[in-house]
Structure 1
Amino acid sequence: MNKPATAEQPSRFPLRELSLCLALAAAILAVYAIMGGAYSTRMLVEAACYAILALGLTIQWGYAGQFNAGVMGFVALGGVCAMTFSVPVNEAFWASELPFELGRVLLYALAAIVLVWGATRLDRLGVPKTLRTLIAVVLALLLYLVVISLLRGVTDEIESRVGFIGGLGLPTGVGWVVGGALAGGVGYFIGHICLGLRSDYLAIATLGIAEIIKAFLKNSDWLTRGTATVSPLPWPTPGPGELGFVMARSIYLVVTALIIAVIFFLLHRAYNAAWGRTIRAIRDNEISSAAMGKDVNRRRLQIFVLGCILMGIGGAALTSFNSIFDPQGYLPLNHTFLVLVMVILGGPGNNLGTIIGAVLVYLIWIMSEPLALYLMQLASSLGEGLGWVDPADMQSRALQARVLVIGLLITLVLRFAPKGLLPEKVKHHG
């Protein structure tokens, strides 16, 4: 008996992927030739950190259709962990009674959370749900006022006597890992509240939470020094003072590239496994997935937390490289919108496309300023013979041109490549 023939799809030569990689490599070489090794290597390290952030967003938005507009908040959480765990210990703080006082207040806060949580379970004792909710809300407000008053008294003492609590003096990599864990933990808490929302409502909720995180870090001088900033932050690799700018930044680039390679490998395996197929099925048709017995809420929460973890790691790596923690430096334009543009350009759900999009968009973002300044100076020199007046503060005007260029770029992409340079590839099993 003859066996039925099975149609196999021939493997496609990745011409488009190879062409994009070669074009990106040529652009990077051109930047090196124009701007020099030190500047260009720094740009590549920052682009690699942004690629980690973009991978976190592409699995949330591309894999599961979750539009997270609060990337900035998770980047800040990674940054504060990188700072807290790596900067030297503040001996003046630990030699005083302030750690004991701060710990006591934090225990009060933990007890208050437990009490409020217990109040939300009073309906199990026969208390009507309306009365249970009222008791929980009133108790939460009263306990919040008590705890915040106690905390403010301790933090005022810390700021007046020792400045801020300082760091832990641990290896920088520990801060990166904890930053990812903290961002994932906060994402887990947010997910229970916000993942029931859809599309623009989820975006508004995550954007508001990101602003809350930024405001907390900015006003917590006892923890982060607030607007005074904390610097310099140590690197996980030898710094420029030991090896020089080019070599030190090159080693840092290797570290971030290895992190991206590990993340890419794990995401590729997960995407093509049963877990990835389940996530995409939920994204495409949540109702039918639930009817087939899939735990929709659990899977959605998993993907949201995983994306937040990557954002925390990327934020920690970026903060350590910049060697300064400045709560005011976390801006929605730089740490949310720019990452969104990277994912849109590369292709939501395509890991390789996201990495290419991240590097390409960051290259355009950085190089648009000197290019705009050069064009302004050229136009000014040509206009001298015509009696033109030189525009004031051309440097500032050139800096603002970056927003124009990115806006034009995203418009062109949405018009001519709405699915990105490398659209998501979904294998169909017959």
Structure 2
Amino acid sequence: MDTKRADTVAAPRRFPLREVVLFAAVLTAVLGVYLVMGAAYSTRMLVEASCYAILALGLTIQWGYAGQFNAGVMGFVALGGFCAMFFSMPINEAFWGSELPGELGQVLLYAIVAILVVFGATRLDRIGVPKLLRTLIAIILGVVLYLMVVNAFRGVTDQIEARAGFIGGLGLPVGVGWIVGGALAGGVGYFIGKVCLGLRSDYLAIATLGIAEIIKAFLKNADWLTRGTATVSPLPWPVPGPAEIGFTLARALYLSVTAAMIAVIFFLLSRAYHAPWGRMIRAIRDNEISAAAMGKDINKRRLEIFVLGCVLMGLGGAALASFNSMFDPQGYLPLNHTFLVLVMVILGGPGNNLGTLFGAVAVYIIWIMSAPLALFLMDMAMSLGQGLGWETPTNMDSRALQARVFVIGLLITLVLRYAPKGLLPEKVKHHG
């Protein structure tokens, strides 16, 4: 028998017992929620879980495929939500019907010219200007032009807020905002990756966390663009809304859209994972020095995977904002839009797309149902306590909401202790 051929024969596939048991448990939990909470509430929970599944897939290819720890998921989610709002909201005639668009465009043109001037000043050494003098000229020009542009920009934005409230939207189909949201998140991720991917994993996490807070602060304070803390609502849906066909059916249609998106993303990611490109990404993750010695462009491939993950985060953020029918920059929180996604990936298994989907649905069910379950248990305890003469505490609803954090913290502790690679760990095929 040919030894070389025998080495390449794949081992017989086992029955996926663990996968079947875990997904059966999730299905049982979903059915239980439907029976207890009703169809409208449960369908809403599944739609939000599907949006989080897209976010988790974006994180699992960054962390699971390439070992890049992105702690700034929230920022890319917010960019996707902003695009969903900006492109789908109706046109604000109070803004577009005035001279304000021309003035805003003029200021933006000034900003572009200022950037080009400063960039040109940094290249003066090529025509014989000493480097020290070149740097001094660039710094002075940068400060002066920045103050001039900011002063002009503030004057225009104050006028926009006073006369029109904010710019408004572009009145385009919802899908356009979702696509642009993914593209914008990917574009921002490209520039972040060019700067930060050379850092170690812990420094990369710190850098992305800080950048996410910067994005949130900009969106929250740009009242002329996003209305800031005043929020923008209602955002249009890509399917008929609850006012037209009822809550349950409208949410079911929305769920079909997000489920179709997940199916396409899952198929493409699975193909990429098993393709030579995926094997190369994993080789870079496992042994960067060996991969570089084989002639692989490490920085280029790491940037590709980082941008791809950011695109999915922006897409999921856009779908989530549209479903909530509201854009609130202040509502983006590291706990809800970074840590929760991280828990989903850890529970399911970094690098395993199927495990990530399981983790997203399971963790979101636990996150949502922790509060009503905790409230139910507290009410039972208070009923028993009243019979014993105990004093009944107040703010039971807020106390029950705090149980979410406790339950998720306990969950992540147990997973890291007993299943550090996740409940469905990554399966890497070895070829002889």
Aligned position for 2:390 = 388
2:327 partner letter: F
C-alpha distance in structure 2 between counterparts of 1:420 and 1:234, whole Å: 37
Query: Is residue 2:344 matched to residue 1:378?
Result: no
Q: Secondary structure at the match of 1:103?
A: helix
Aligned position for 1:109 = 111
2:30 partner letter: I
Query: Residues 288-367 of structure 1: matches in 2 within 5 Å?
Result: 288-367=290-369
**Residue deviations 1:155-194, cap 9 Å, x none?**
0000001111110011000000000000000001111111
Go from structure 1 to structure 2 and tell me whether the alpha carbon gap of 1:127 and 1:362 turns closer, same or farther (over 3 Å shift). farther
Aligned position for 1:19 = 21
Query: Residues 273-288 of structure 1: matches in 2 within 5 Å?
Result: 273-288=275-290
C-alpha distance in structure 2 between counterparts of 1:211 and 1:256, whole Å: 27
C-alpha distance in structure 2 between counterparts of 1:389 and 1:194, whole Å: 54
Query: Is residue 2:430 matched to residue 1:428?
Result: yes
Q: Secondary structure at the match of 1:6?
A: helix
**Aligned-residue offset at 1:120:** 3.5
C-alpha distance in structure 2 between counterparts of 1:34 and 1:136, whole Å: 65
Q: 5+ unaligned residues in a row in structure 1: which ranges?
A: none
**Aligned-residue offset at 1:123:** 4.3
Query: Is residue 2:256 matched to residue 1:249?
Result: no
Go from structure 1 to structure 2 and tell me whether the alpha carbon gap of 1:62 and 1:131 turns closer, same or farther (over 3 Å shift). farther
Worse-superposed segment, 231-240 or 133-142: 133-142
**Residue deviations 1:397-417, cap 9 Å, x none?**
000110000000000000000
C-alpha distance in structure 2 between counterparts of 1:129 and 1:277, whole Å: 45
**Residue deviations 1:130-161, cap 9 Å, x none?**
55444444433332222111110000000001
Query: Residues 129-278 of structure 1: matches in 2 within 5 Å?
Result: 129=131, 131-278=133-280
C-alpha distance in structure 2 between counterparts of 1:29 and 1:51, whole Å: 19
Aligned position for 1:6 = 6
Q: 5+ unaligned residues in a row in structure 2: which ranges?
A: none
C-alpha distance in structure 1 between counterparts of 2:290 and 2:141, whole Å: 41
CA RMSD for the aligned pairs? 1.3
**Residue deviations 1:78-116, cap 9 Å, x none?**
000000011100111111110000001111111222223
**Aligned-residue offset at 1:289:** 1.1
1:306 partner letter: L
C-alpha distance in structure 1 between counterparts of 2:131 and 2:418, whole Å: 54
Aligned position for 1:34 = 36
**Residue deviations 1:348-400, cap 9 Å, x none?**
00001001100100000000000000000000001112111111110000001
- What TM-score comes out, normalization by structure 1 length? 0.97
C-alpha distance in structure 2 between counterparts of 1:396 and 1:421, whole Å: 31
C-alpha distance in structure 1 between counterparts of 2:137 and 2:249, whole Å: 61
**Aligned-residue offset at 1:242:** 1.0
1:216 partner letter: F
C-alpha distance in structure 2 between counterparts of 1:198 and 1:359, whole Å: 31
1:329 partner letter: G
2:43 partner letter: T
Go from structure 1 to structure 2 and tell me whether the alpha carbon gap of 1:128 and 1:413 turns closer, same or farther (over 3 Å shift). farther
**Aligned-residue offset at 1:15:** 1.3
**Aligned-residue offset at 1:129:** 5.0
The correspondence for 1:368, drawn from 367, 370, 378, is 370
1:248 partner letter: A
1:179 partner letter: G
C-alpha distance in structure 1 between counterparts of 2:328 and 2:304, whole Å: 30
Query: Residues 83-98 of structure 1: matches in 2 within 5 Å?
Result: 83-98=85-100
Count of matched residue pairs = 429
Go from structure 1 to structure 2 and tell me whether the alpha carbon gap of 1:384 and 1:286 turns closer, same or farther (over 3 Å shift). same
Query: Residues 41-80 of structure 1: matches in 2 within 5 Å?
Result: 41-80=43-82
**Residue deviations 1:230-287, cap 9 Å, x none?**
0000000000011100000000000000000000000000011111111111111111
C-alpha distance in structure 1 between counterparts of 2:196 and 2:413, whole Å: 30
Go from structure 1 to structure 2 and tell me whether the alpha carbon gap of 1:125 and 1:275 turns closer, same or farther (over 3 Å shift). farther
Worse-superposed segment, 120-129 or 197-206: 120-129
C-alpha distance in structure 1 between counterparts of 2:246 and 2:409, whole Å: 36
Go from structure 1 to structure 2 and tell me whether the alpha carbon gap of 1:134 and 1:403 turns closer, same or farther (over 3 Å shift). farther
Aligned position for 2:409 = 407
C-alpha distance in structure 1 between counterparts of 2:137 and 2:278, whole Å: 43
Worse-superposed segment, 365-374 or 101-110: 101-110
C-alpha distance in structure 2 between counterparts of 1:154 and 1:205, whole Å: 32
**Aligned-residue offset at 1:199:** 1.2
2:344 partner letter: M
C-alpha distance in structure 2 between counterparts of 1:126 and 1:37, whole Å: 73
Go from structure 1 to structure 2 and tell me whether the alpha carbon gap of 1:128 and 1:199 turns closer, same or farther (over 3 Å shift). farther
